[in-house]
Structures are given as C-alpha cells and as structure tokens.
Amino acid sequence: MHDDRALVEARLTRVLNERIRPALYPESVPLEVSAWVAPGTVPVAEGLAAARTPVAVGDAWGAPWATTWFTVRGRVPREWAGRTVEAVLDLGFDERMPGFQCEALVHMPDGTPVKALNPRNQWVRVGAPVRGGERVEWHLEAASNPVILDVPPFRPTRLGDPETAGSEPLYRLARLDLAVFDTAVWELIQDLEVLGELMPELAVDSPRRWEVLRAVGRALDLVDLQDVNGSAERARSALREVLATPAAASAHRISAVGHAHIDSAWLWPLRETVRKVARTTANMTALLEDEPEFVFAMSQAQQYAWIKEHRPEVYAKVKKAVAEGRFVPAGGMWVESDTNMPGSEAMARQFVHGKRFFLEEFGVENEEAWLPDTFGFAAGLPQIIKAAGSKWLLSQKISWSQINDFPHHTFRWEGIDGTRIFTHFPPVDTYNCQMAGGEIAHAARNFKDKGAARHSLAPTGWGDGGGGTTREMIAKARRLRSLDGSAVVEWEKPAAFFAKAEAEYPQAPVWVGELYLELHRGTLTSQARTKRGNRRSEQLLREAELWSATAAVATSHPYPYAELDRLWKTVLLHQFHDILPGSSIAWVHREAERTYAAVAAELEDIIAAALAALAGEGDACLTVNSAPHARAGVAAGAIGSAAAEGPEVRAGARPDGGFVLDNGLLRIEIDDRGLVVSVHDRAADRETLAPGSAANLLQIHPDFPNMWDAWDVDSFYRNVVTDLTEADEVTLREVAAEAATVRVARSFGDSRVVQDLTLRRGRRRLDIATEVDWHETEKFLKAAFPLDLHAERYAAETQFGHLYRPTHTNTSWEAAKFEACAHRFVHAEEPGWGVALVNDCLYGHDVTRTVRDGDAPGTTTTVRLSLLRAPRFPDPETDQGLHRFRYALAPGATLADAVREGHRINLPERRIAGSGPVPPLITVDNDATVATAVKLADDASGDVIVRLHEAHGGRARTTLSTAFTLADALTTDLLERPADNGPAVEWQENTVRLALRPFQIVTLRLVRADRR
C-alpha cells in the first residue's frame, strides 16, 4: 500500500478547520448589547445598576486596565425548541492568549455569577434542551487587560502601568449571538482531535498508526461537506472501534489534575488577580457540576481568602465543591512563593498561614507542597515542608533549565539537615497541560524513571493568568482513559497520585542539596526596592513579635495578635514568585513599595509601644538588642546599657593618598581612588585581599539576555566589564573614638553612587553603606571583593542554615551556577581562617577562583555582590532612582561569626530612653543555636513559642532559660501542634535542655505557670 499519511493528515487539518469547526453553531441570532465604562473596579450592584449605552459588534472598547460592564439581551427563537442553545460571546479574543488579555465574569440580572469568558471559553449555556421563546439577559464585567507579553515577546512597553498605558481602546467586539450548539459536531471534533494528535506520536511502522489513519480517512469520507451537521453522527460511527481499543497493560499512567496556575501578580496587578481567581473558580465549580469524573485543585490560601472577601457567592460554591472532595485545596502555602529569597521564618509562615487557612475553612490537611512555577528550590525547604506536617512536593520548573537535564522525575529530595521529601516533577513539562496528544506522548517518553515507576501527574488547564480546565480537555481525557497507543489518563486528586507514586517506588533515587534552576538568575537582583522591603519587613516582624511577647509576659501589655497576623499575610503575599523576584509589571512593584512602607510604619509603632511598656519612664540611655546573639554587653533579646568594645578607632592619611583606618583588630587602607587596597587582620597577622587587587570595586556589565529580561542573566554578560575606579570624592568624613568613616562618591553613565566606608570600635568588619542614584538601562552593577583565599567551596546562608557551593567549574552543573542566592552572608575559608561578606537586603552573588603566578603566587577567591540591574521588560523603568543598601566585609570570620554578623547588620541596635535594663524573655546558652522567632502562641493561650535551629552545621546541646516559671515545655510542628518527632526535651522551673542535629529546626511551646 502506498504511504498516504501526509495526504490524510493534511485533509484532516483542512476539513476540521474549514468545515467541521465552523459547523459547531449552525444557526444564530444576534444579541442586543449595551455598555457602561466603570470608573475602575466597582461593586457588582453598582455595575448592574449603571445606565448603559448601545454598542454593536465591531465597536472598539476597553482602554488599558479599564472595566466595561456589558449587558446582552435576547430571545431564543421558538423554532429552536428542543435543541441545545448557547450564547457565543467573543469580546475580541485572541485564542492564542488565554489569561493574558481581556476577560469577563458573566452575571445573572440579580448579580449571581454564572461563569467566565476568556479566549478558550466563549460560551454560556442557555439550555439543553431549550423550550423556545425564552428571554435571556446577562451582565458581563469585562476587564480590558492589555497584552504585555505580546508577539514578539519581551519588547519594552508602557502598558504595565495605568499611569503610562494611555486610553486608546485595545479590543473590538467580535461576536455576541445566541446560537444552536450541535453536540454531535462537538463530539466529532473531539474524536478527530484526539486521533489526529495521537497519529504522529506513533511509530510509522506501528500497525496502530495505520489503523488510526484508515479510520480517520473513513470518517472524513462520511462527512458531507455541504451538510456537516447532518453527517456528524455517521462520521463518528467510523471512529468508535478505533477509539474503543484499550491501552496496553504496560502503558504509562497519568493522573490528570484540573488546574489553573494563577500568578498572584505578574503581568497584571493584585487587584486584577482577585477578579481572575473569581472568574476561574466560577468556571471550575460550574464544570464540576457538569463533569462527574473531573477533579480540580487550586493552591494559594490567599486566593481563597480573596474570593471569600470579595465574591462570597462564588466562595460558597467553592466550599460546597471542597466538601464534596472534588475541588481540592492544594499546597498548603499562603501563596506559591519564591523559595530562594524568603527568610527562615517567612518560609515557615508560608506553610503556617496556608495550612491553617485550609484547616479552619475546609478541614483539609495538606500533605503536599505545590509549587509548579517557582524559580528553583532552596536546600532548607525539605525540613520546612516536613515540619509543617507535609511530606510531598510537586514542581515542574526545573524542566526549564538551560544546560543540564535533571536526571529524575520522581525522587526523594534531601535538604541540608538530612530530611527527605518525596518529590515529583511532571514529565509533561508544563503546568498548563491541554490534554493534547503530543503532551501525553511526551510525558510517557520523557519519564526518566521508567521500569521502576509508571505514574506521573499532569496539571491540566490554562494557567498563569488563569482560566483553568475546559470542557474540551475533559472530553479528550475521557477518550484517553484507555486508548491504544496512548498513556492512560485518569482524573485524580494530588494526594491519590502521590500515594500511588510513593507506594510503587519505595527505592526512589535521592537528590541532595538545592534544586537550582539554570534560568531566571536575574530575579535575585531585579527590583531592588521590592527586595529591600521584603528583608526589612521580615526583620521588623521578628522585632515586633519578640518585644510584644516580652512586654505581654513582663507587663501584661496587650499582644497584637490580629495586627501581626494581617501584616504577616501581607508580607507573605509579596513573596509570590513574580513579586519578590522582581518580574512583574511596574504597577505591581510601585504598589509593593507603598505597601512595604505602610507595613514598616505599622510595625515600628507596634515595636515602639512594646518597648515603651518594657522600658518605662526614665532618661537612662538604653540599647535594644533584637538579634539572637549578645553584643556590647547586652544579651540577645534584652534591653540594657551597652559597653564599649576594644580600643578607640584611629584614622589618618595614607602616604600614597587616601586614608588608613585602624581599630586594633583591623587595619584598613583606602587609596585615593576610594578603593580598599588592604584589609589586615591583626590577630591573624594576615592580609585579606589578594596581592595587587582592590576590594569594594564596583563593576558594571552590559545586561541584555536572550529573553526574559527581568528574569534572566545570561553567562555572556561577564565577557565585558567596566571597573568604576574614578572618584569624584574621597574624604575622611567622621573620626571619633567609636567609628571612622571615609566617604567615596563616583559618577558613571547617568548615575551616581555615594559610599560610606566605616570601621567601628570593637568590630572585626568594615561596613559599607551604599546609596546609588541609578539611571542606567540594561546594565548590571556588582561589588567585587578579591580575597587571598584558597577555597574550593563557600557557604551561603539559606533558610535555617547554609549550604556549600563549589568555587570551581569542573562540570556543567557547577558552571551553570554562575549567579546564586544567599541570604545574610556568604563565607569562604581555608582551614583556620575565613572571610564573611554580609548584607542587609541583597541576594544575588557570584564566587569565582583564579590562580596567580609571578611574584605573588596563590589563589584568589573573588566574591561579588549583585547590587542593581536595569532590564526593560516587563517594567521599562526597572530600578530607576535612589537605592540604599549596606554590606560589610568581615576578615578572620568563622562560620559562627558569619551567622552572628549577618544578624547584626540586619538587626541593628536601637537606642531608647527608659528607667533601666530589661532582661530577655528567653536566653539560649549556645551561639550555634539561633532563635528565629520568639512570640506568643497563635491560639491566644499566652504560651510562649520559640523557634530554634542549629546554625553552624554541627550538633548542639542547648539550655534555654526563661524569664518566667514553666508549667510545661513541649515540641510542636510549625503550626504549634504537638510533634511526635521532636527532640527529647528536659525542663524544670525555668530551664529547657535539648540537643539538636545539624541544622535541625525545633519549635518549643513554653507553657507559663502564671497562666495555669
């Protein structure tokens, strides 16, 4: 037989597109349409009541970010009685862009939500069948969101902010009709699509491919091109046998989970996400009613909270579907956050607030973390997941890595403390699966654990901007439930999938350490003000909880439970994986800056009130130490009188120009260019900097990645570098016993930087306060510190500990990590001597090593902090303007010093007036054991919660002392529930003793005797 595959397949494409799909709605009548342009987002009642103006198909509508309320009215023709009728409402959609353009929520005249409209969901069912003669009326709350990620993508656009987006209409009404829906034609479309997509995935020499081809050919022969509607059932009959042939017993198994990954902000603001969630959940609850086998999962407790607050009628349907077990709250986090940059407590609170919401609202205990789109995973995360009472993780983002192909799809992921979490990366390689034949075949072929396992998961539905699963996807999945040549598809809850997958693969391979995404490295630096706001908020929340708890116990000062709960949720929301990483439109980051300022102001008020209650009235000068380590004679978590440390600071001129600063611990030389050319550690009698090099060297690179501008830094950026060595000013600004400061000012391009280099009494670190007025575009600014160190690895702080990364590039895996994340410190050392670089709001950095020849042989380990970027998409004004950040070089630092100095720079001492010292609420006797949270229990019992972890990577025996008498002390999980797997706790009166493993997290509930 001749090979006519191409002929039949081309015929199928044309007949489907030009004859069968157009026959879906064989008869239609226009609807009457009127509109009102709202002044922003308005309550539903106001939108329903507003006066309308008549409009027609073809009219332009929708300025960027505007809301238009359309009313459509009509009557079903009587001659359509007994038929299925739908409204076809095309607002001018581009079917390629679901979730990225205009959308609408359809309401009944009484305001009841019906369903949403989007490019892949343009229908509203009237009846099946109709009586004929029915009057219909709907009100459409239509959002004219602009397409930011257009074709071609990554072009700078002003549409990302209403202040610059203009007012020209973006869309034209395309079709607003009542129409007869031909069910037979619709089913024929699904049959032919499934088989047409299956064919090219089968081997050419496979008999099954030819069976499908011949069946499709026969069906097309039976389609009357002049009467598709009359011949659709006849054509379907030719396909029944080939569609009924069951899958092979060895076929890969796919658990389909209805899904709509909704970015809590990205190319739209938070305001619009509230409506996106309402639209998507309205569609999904309606679909659940129509499709009994369908299961839908949605993560992010914040999004449920939004519906509850703003659209209670939609939320009622969600709660009903959750109770029925078909709408599944997934993930147990407040939002699908970034996991690289949130601090230890913030990462813990993502699970605390997320899981608690699902428990309180639905009685659901999540056992999986659900993070399909997060940009890599910090090495401390497995322990946090387990400490929250969960045991599984799902993501697919690692499949985006540019260089190395991750070796597993199902595996156990081991974190820094040894905790292992059963993890799955769906081999379908998307969180927007459409049930297309190519996707299903790719999942089966791509699955790397074949032979040992056979189950994978497919998150199915339109995402990013929402939309969710469609009836077409469900129809395809029904045909793929058992179809020869395809993987087997079954709708299942995430928990059911994980239980099966874990049971069948008890010896799953283990991956140790961070799950580094070889992409989107620029998100560690983009939108610096957002990152500074996050870090500052985290530290202020720590202080607010610490001092409020201390004041509540010591003075009965009222503890601000509700305020802290609300503020934590605000900060957690802004850790969403397109807000904190700096990859959202200008509107999002402009709002975030205002929000962080308001959060800081409120937290400062809370802190001030608690400190005032503690310190009392008086004029004694007191130092407030919020850090987890004692300093200057003031205990951790105490208020007292600071003592002078070490000899006075001296400063003078350097013979070759510049200045010398000396505090008896360090001798710093700053040359006439304002560069640090010597940092001598007096105790070790050792120079910190590589011979002939300069530290705090600002370097600027061109930064124009191949795509994903705000997200990516491509390795070729390092090919061109400009050292900023010209100084406008190098002056000795301050000389006193306690500190000496050299100010350095530089101009470059259209920007200016002013730095204060300060050496303080008793401190083994050089503080560098930097202010940059940044007006560059597509540039990358770094600060370099070339160290005279032979280090093959370095430590970078992550949640509840640190991880080591190599400084070499032996393999492609190491070479790919040319930009990485650290929290408060990076630390490099040789045996017996090391250097820490600490910061107060930076995350991105790189570490490289070179070998010196000549007169000063040795190894140079260069640590560079990433300060600023200037991408132009999606925000063309990214980071323009003024920035402030602090970092410090600490020579001779051990890892313990790095931990201590990292906290110190982020939690500077406060000065207050009061009556006298205040002892700490709790005291920890081992510096290796760090308290990340001291607070009152969330249940308002008055119990004190202390979260500790071992921070140095070793074992630690710790005695914790309390300022109150204990009635009990027990370990809990992160949600403050009794834990079965916590360490043994010995307690008496006001002491608690426990032993911690390396990096172990322990949460203690301390029951006060005075509350019994």
For tokens 């920007």, name the residue. 751
- Compute CA distances 172 → 461, 909, 943, whole Å: 26, 59, 60
Q: What are phi and psi of 903, to 5 degrees?
A: -70, -40
d(CA 493, CA 259): 11
d(CA 794, CA 801): 13
d(CA 801, CA 649): 33
d(CA 455, CA 508): 13
- Per-residue tokens: 859: 């190894």
d(CA 683, CA 689): 16
d(CA 384, CA 196): 46
d(CA 938, CA 561): 7
d(CA 150, CA 145): 12
d(CA 350, CA 361): 17
- Bridge-based pairing of strands 392-394 and 368-370 is parallel
Sequence-ordered alpha helix ranges (H) in 453-527: 471-479, 494-504
Q: Which helix (H) or strand (E) holds 887?
A: strand 881-891
Burial class (CB within 10 angstroms; exposed 0-12, middle 13-18, buried 19+) of 726: exposed
8 Å CB contact between 555 and 614 = yes
Using DSSP, state whether 850 is helix, strand or coil. strand
DSSP 558-626: PP-HHHHHHHHHHHHHTTBTTTTTT-S-HHHHHHHHHHHHHHHHHHHHHHHHHHHHHH-S--EEEEEE-
d(CA 261, CA 459): 9
8 Å CB contact between 577 and 375 = yes
Among the options 263, 373, 484, 973, which is catalytic?
Answer: 373
Please indicate whether residue 709 is annotated as part of the active site. Answer: no
Cis peptide before 874 (omega within 30 of 0): yes
Q: What are phi and psi of 235, to 5 degrees?
A: -65, -40
For tokens 């937290």, name the residue. 603
Catalytic residues: 373
